[in-house]
Structure 1
C-alpha cells in the first residue's frame, strides 16, 4: 500500500477559498467516484434509501406538497425519493459535479427538484421549509463553531413549526465499517481504514487510490480531496 503523509487537519482550520479547494481536490474526480460509483456498489443501498426517506417523512410529519430542504444532498439519491413522494424538494450541496449528476438523475426519473450549489455555512433561506434533513453522515466537516453555524442556518430556513432531522455517525460503530477495497466499474477502489483522532473528536479522511484497469493507471487522492473528508464526530454527551 502506498504511504501517505498527512498534514494538520484542514477541516479544523478551514481555508477561505474552500470552493476552489473543493473543485480542485474533490470535484475533479473523487466526488463522483465515492458519492456515486462507490455508493451504488453498497448492497441494498437503494432499498435503504427508501426506508430512510419514509422514516424522515414520518419523523418530520411531512404531508404531500410540503417544502423540504436536503442539505449536503450529494448526487440527489434522497432528493429524488422525496420528490417521488410528492414533496417540494430543494437539494443543496457544495459539489458542482454532484449537483450536475443529481439534475441528470432527476430529469431521467421525471421528478422536479430544485438543486442549488453552495456552502452550507452560508445558506440564506428564511422561514421557508416545513422540514430539513442532513443525511449520510454529512454533518461535521468544519470546526465546532462553523458546525454550529450550519445548524443555525438550517434553523433559519425552517418555517414556523418546521423540524430538522440530523444523521450523525456513531464513532463506536466504526469497526463495522473498515472495508479497505471494493470493485467498481472500470477497476478497484482502495482506501486505508478509518482513523479517529479521539483527542480532537475528528474522524480523519481516508487516503485512497483507484486502480483503473481499463485505462491502465492509478489515481491517487490528493491532499485537498483528503482534507475534505475530515469529520468532527459528536457523541450523545455533546
Structure 2
C-alpha cells in the first residue's frame, strides 16, 4: 500500500507540473486551438463599446447580440507577442498604416509641380478650349448666383482659368494653389488684363486669415490629391473660410464612366509629341493620368492620381467637416445618374 500511495503521489505531482508549464510554454502545432468564448458585438454608435467585437467599458455587452465561435486559430503565437496586449498591437499597426499614408500623401503632393508645369499650360488650349471654359464659368456663376462683388475662394486655382473669368464677371476672387509656377502665370495674366485678383501660393489645408467668403470652388481635378485624411482637412478648412449660408461647389469625375473611355490620346504639337495615358484604379476609387512628352530628343514622364468619391462618401465627409447639407447634380441635369460623366457637389454651411 505504501508503494502504491507513493506512485499515486508522484503521478499527481507530475500532472500538476505539466499543467503549470503548459501555461508558460508557447502554444505549438494544433495544441493552440482552443474553444473561444462568445464575443459581444458593439452596437453602432454605442458609447459603451470600445470597438466592434469587444464588451463595454464596464464588462457588460454593448448589445444583446453575441456570436459563437467554437474554435479559432490564433494569428500570432504568445511567444512572439510577449506581454504586449492586442490593443497595443492594433494601435501600433494603425500608427504604422497612418505613417505610410502620410508618406504617400507627401509623395503625391510633391509630384504635382512636375505635372502642372509649362507643358500643362501649353496643352490647355486643347484640354480646356475657350468655349469649354466659358461654359463652365457660366455654369458655376448660375449655381452660385455670382454677381458684382461676390466673394469667391478658388481652391486649386491653377493658372487662373476659372478665377480670371469670374473676376471679369465682377466677382472678388482669391485663388490658392500649391504650385508656384501656376500662381506666377495667373498673376501675370491678371496684371496684363488689369484685374485685381488675390493669388496666393499655399496649401488648401491651411487657409490662414481667409474667412467670410460667399462661395468656394474646387473645380477640374482640384480636389482629391493625397489620402482621405488630407481631403477631410481640406473640406473643414473650406467650410471655415465661408460665411454662414455660404456654398462650396466642387466637381469629381465618375471613374466608371471614365474607365469605359479608357484609351490613350496623342497630341502632335509639331515641336513636341504628347501622350496622355489614363491610369484608373477603380478598387481604390482613384483616377490618374500619365503624361509622356517627347521634345528636343528627350522624353519626360509625369503623372497624377486623384481620389474620386461616391455621393455617400462625399456627403459624409462634408457633414463631418461642418456643412449643414449637401446636394448632388451633374453638369448635364439637375440630378446625378450612374451614366453622368461628372459629379457636382453643392455643400451649404
Q: TM-score, normalised by structure 2?
A: 0.56
Does residue 234 of the first structure (1) align with residue 309 of the second (2)? Answer: yes
Take 1:20 and 1:151, find their aligned partners in 2: how far apart are those partners? 18
Does residue 132 of the first structure (1) align with residue 212 of the second (2)? Answer: no
Match of 1:70 among 134, 142, 154: 154
Partner of 1:9: none
Does residue 197 of the first structure (1) align with residue 277 of the second (2)? Answer: no
Q: CA deviation at 1:132?
A: 0.6
Q: Give 5+ residue unaligned stretches, structure 1.
A: 1-11
Q: CA deviation at 1:177?
A: 6.1
Match of 1:33 among 119, 125, 128: 119
Partner of 2:290: 207
Match of 2:267 among 175, 179, 182: 182
Take 1:137 and 1:26, find their aligned partners in 2: how far apart are those partners? 12
Judging changes above 3 Å, is the alpha-carbon distance between structure 1 residues 52 and 208 closer, same or farther for their aligned structure 2 residues? closer
SS at match of 2:214: strand
SS at match of 1:172: helix
Give the 4+ runs in structure 1 shifted more than 6 A: none
Take 1:185 and 1:130, find their aligned partners in 2: how far apart are those partners? 44
Partner of 1:217: 297
Judging changes above 3 Å, is the alpha-carbon distance between structure 1 residues 15 and 117 closer, same or farther for their aligned structure 2 residues? farther
Aligned length: 213
SS at match of 1:120: coil
Take 2:172 and 2:270, find their aligned partners in 1: how far apart are those partners? 33
Q: Give 5+ residue unaligned stretches, structure 2.
A: 1-99, 314-349
SS at match of 1:111: coil
Take 1:211 and 1:83, find their aligned partners in 2: how far apart are those partners? 36
Take 1:123 and 1:16, find their aligned partners in 2: how far apart are those partners? 22
Take 2:248 and 2:162, find their aligned partners in 1: how far apart are those partners? 15
Take 1:113 and 1:178, find their aligned partners in 2: how far apart are those partners? 38
Q: CA RMSD in A?
A: 2.5
Judging changes above 3 Å, is the alpha-carbon distance between structure 1 residues 185 and 138 closer, same or farther for their aligned structure 2 residues? farther
Between 1:53-62 and 1:175-184, the stretch displaced more is 175-184
Match of 1:13 among 77, 101, 106: 101
SS at match of 2:252: coil
